[in-house]
């Protein structure tokens, strides 16, 4: 099994149908933390699969997806994420793609 890394994925999709499709795909790879923002714990293979799935749906000249690598899940990821105001609730089971 490959090393798990934490990614923050944010998207701006222009068409409501594509937006729904992207959101549905993202739910299979991670946990929502804000509207159109997900936290994903993925292996390198999982990241490649996520990018491939999203690439098939988006229009590259209209939509935008940002993937931020927060590094390995070494117990320090939480130190790299800061919230002001209400914090998202922790889910019992986080999605992990291997």
What's the pLDDT tens digit per position in 13-52?
A: 999 999 999 999 999 999 999 889 999 999 999 999 999 9
User: Helices marked H in the chain — which ranges?
Assistant: 16-27, 44-57, 77-80
Q: For residue 89, is it within any domain? A: no
pLDDT digits (tens, 9 = 90+) for 47-72: 999 999 999 999 999 999 999 999 99
- As for how many domains the chain has, the answer is 1
- Separation between Cα atoms, residue 18 and residue 80, nearest integer Å: 31
Is 22 inside any structural domain?
Answer: yes
3-state SS, residue 84:
coil
- Range(s) of the domain holding residue 27: 5-74
Phi, psi of 46 (to 5 degrees): -60, -40
> Residue 98 pLDDT more than 60?
no
Q: What is the CATH number of the domain that holds 51?
A: 3.30.70.240
Asked whether the beta carbons of 98 and 45 are under 8 A apart, the reply is yes
């Amino acid at each position: 099994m490959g090393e798990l890394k934490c990614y923050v994925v944010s998207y701006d999709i222009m068409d409501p149908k594509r937006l729904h499709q992207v959101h549905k795909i993202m739910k299979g790879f991670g946990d929502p933390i804000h509207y159109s923002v997900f936290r994903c714990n993925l292996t390198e293979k999982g990241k490649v699969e996520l990018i491939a799935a999203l690439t098939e749906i988006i229009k590259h000249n209209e939509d935008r997806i940002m993937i931020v690598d927060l590094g390995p899940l070494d117990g320090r990821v939480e130190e790299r994420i800061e919230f002001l105001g209400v914090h998202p609730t922790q889910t019992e089971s986080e999605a992990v793609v291997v």
